[in-house]
C-alpha cells in the first residue's frame, strides 16, 4: 500500500509491505523494518530497525479526516492525501462502545495469511459467529463477529498476507 501523508506541513510518500514477520515501511525512499504489536485500540508497540529501537505510538483520530500521532512523548498532526483509500485500524475509537453503535471493524490481530473468508457482503451475522480464519505463527485463528449485524465490506482475500491491524471486514 502506498500513501501520501502530510505531517507538520511536509508531504511524505509512505509505502508499507509485509517483509516476513516484519513490516517494511519506506518513507520518501528510505526503508525501515518494523515489528508492530497493537497493545490496545490506538496504541502500538514498535521495534524499529535492525537494532530493534523501541517506540510507543499512539494514534488519535481527530474526526476531521486526520490523526494526531504521539511517538515517545512527541506529537504531530497527520493527514492522508486521499483519506477515502485508508481504513483506520491504527486509530482509537474503532472498537468497543463505538462499534456497538455504528460500524464494527474486524482487523487482523497479528501478521499472517488469510486461509478462509467465511462471509460475504450483505450477509447477516450474529455475535461470536466465525468470519475469517487467519494463520499466524503456524496456528489457525478464527476471528469472530463482535456483535449482531450485517457484513458491509470484506477486504480479506483468501491466500493474501495481512499485517497486524489490517482491516479484514466491516459489520454494520
Quote the pLDDT of residue 65.
67
Quote the pLDDT of residue 86.
46
Quote the pLDDT of residue 83.
44
Residue ranges, CATH 2.40.50.100, the chain: 100-171
Q: Are 14 and 23 in contact (CB under 8 A)?
A: no
Q: Band of the pLDDT at 8, cuts 50, 70, 90?
A: low
Select 2-85's CATH number: 1.10.1200.10, 3.60.20.10, 3.30.700.30, 1.10.10.10.
3.30.700.30
Select 100-171's CATH number: 3.40.50.720, 3.40.50.1000, 3.40.605.10, 2.40.50.100.
2.40.50.100
pLDDT digits (tens, 9 = 90+) for 120-161: 999 999 888 889 998 887 888 888 887 889 999 999 999 999
Q: Where on the phi/psi map is residue 8: left (φ > 0), alpha (ψ -120 to 50), or beta? A: left
Query: Grid coordinates standing for 40?
Result: 490496545
Tell me the three state secondary structure of residue 115.
strand
pLDDT digits (tens, 9 = 90+) for 67-123: 788 877 677 777 766 544 444 444 444 333 333 446 788 888 778 899 999 999 999
Whole-angstrom distance, CA of residue 23 vs CA of residue 139 = 20
Whole-angstrom distance, CA of residue 121 vs CA of residue 103 = 14
Query: Grid coordinates standing for 129?
Result: 459467529
Helix then strand then coil, % of the chain, to nearest 5:
5, 60, 40
Query: Grid coordinates standing for 123?
Result: 450477509
Amino acid at each position: 500500500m502506498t500513501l501520501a501523508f502530510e505531517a507538520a506541513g511536509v508531504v511524505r510518500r509512505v509505502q508499507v509491505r509485509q517483509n516476513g514477520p516484519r513490516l517494511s515501511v519506506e518513507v520518501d525512499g528510505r526503508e525501515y523494518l518494523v515489528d508492530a504489536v497493537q497493545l490496545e485500540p490506538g496504541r502500538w508497540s514498535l521495534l524499529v530497525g535492525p537494532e530493534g529501537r523501541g517506540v510507543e505510538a499512539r494514534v488519535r483520530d481527530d474526526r476531521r479526516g486526520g490523526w494526531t500521532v504521539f511517538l515517545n512523548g512527541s506529537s504531530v498532526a497527520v493527514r492522508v492525501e486521499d483519506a477515502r483509500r485508508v481504513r483506520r485500524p491504527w486509530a482509537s475509537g474503532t472498537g468497543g462502545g463505538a462499534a456497538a453503535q455504528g460500524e464494527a471493524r474486524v482487523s487482523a490481530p497479528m501478521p499472517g495469511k488469510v486461509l478462509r473468508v467465511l462471509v460475504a457482503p450483505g450477509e447477516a451475522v450474529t455475535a461470536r459467529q466465525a468470519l475469517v480464519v487467519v494463520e499466524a505463527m503456524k496456528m489457525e485463528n478464527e476471528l469472530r463477529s463482535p456483535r449482531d449485524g450485517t457484513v458491509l465490506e470484506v477486504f480479506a482475500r483468501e491466500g493474501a498476507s495481512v499485517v497486524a491491524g489490517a482491516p479484514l471486514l466491516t459489520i454494520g
